[in-house]
Amino acid sequence: SSLIVTCKYRFKYFRSCINFMVNDKSLLLDVLGDTTELRVIDFLLDNLFISVYKNEIIQRTGLSRNSFFRVWKKLERYKIVKPIKQVGRATLYQLNEENDFVKWLVRTDLTLIEQSVITLTEKPIKASISHI
């Protein structure tokens, strides 16, 4: 249990403190493709511990309402997202951390970020060694 919490905070640290972008895309979108589904999931990964409204996701991802709701139905059907709390008529949502696909995505995203850190730290070392 404490290992899971440690991994969650480690993941959140990498996602929030180090903004890895390639051509204005996150690493996850750059590697897996910039699809509507992945834009929504990527936004929710960035806000892994924060519950969000559907309207916030629409605004922050820049998707049309039609595109968002077409994708949202799939995410609900496969239990990738879960409702957290009802506030009036609106509902707050998060990624479903119990879903195996979400677990895989979290591991994949963290791996991409860690590999990028390693790549960034290796470049100066290789450059200095080649000049010797």
Distance CA 89, CA 109 (A): 33
Residue pointed to by tokens 């990964």: 45
Distance CA 132, CA 33 (A): 40
C-alpha torsion 59→97→114→43, nearest 10: 0
Provide the pLDDT for residue 6: 45
pTM of the complete model: 0.72
Per-residue pLDDT of the chain (132 residues; tens, 9 = 90+): 344 444 544 555 555 544 544 445 777 888 888 899 999 999 998 888 889 999 999 999 999 999 999 999 999 999 999 999 999 999 999 999 899 999 998 888 888 878 877 766 665 544 444 444
